[in-house]
Amino acid sequence: MADSEVQFPKGLRCSDGPEGSFVDIQIGIKKSEFIDWLNTQQGEWVNLDIKRSKEGNKPYARLNTYKRES
């Protein structure tokens, strides 16, 4: 898989918090799917970015594959 290919975590859903609350984004995790996906990732840490769709109305998570140059 190329580093530039976007990966979305399996078993993880993002949604806006209730209107008027202090919660910005809610995250739901389907444990079995998410654990299976995590186990396919390399390294000790898995970094995710929470972003918004181009229309700005729907949050989503994607794998952050940035690697700092040493």
Going along 1-70, which residue ranges are E strands?
12-16, 25-29, 48-52, 59-63
Give domain status of residue 45, yes or no.
yes
Instruction: Report the sign of the C-alpha dihedral through residues 44, 16, 33, 7, in that order.
Output: negative
Phi and psi dihedrals of 31, rounded to 5?
-55, -50
> Residue 4 has what pLDDT?
66
Domain range for 19 is 12-63
Q: How many domains does the chain have?
A: 1
Give domain status of residue 4, yes or no.
no
Give domain status of residue 69, yes or no.
no
Answer whether residue 62 shows pLDDT above 50. Answer: yes
In angstroms, the CA 49 to CA 27 distance is: 12
Tell me the per-residue pLDDT of 18-30, one tens digit each, with 9 for 90 and over. 999 999 999 999 9
Give domain status of residue 68, yes or no.
no
What number of residues does the chain have?
70
Give domain status of residue 52, yes or no.
yes
Dig out the tokens for 36 from the structure: 């299976």
pTM metric for this prediction: 0.80
Give domain status of residue 21, yes or no.
yes
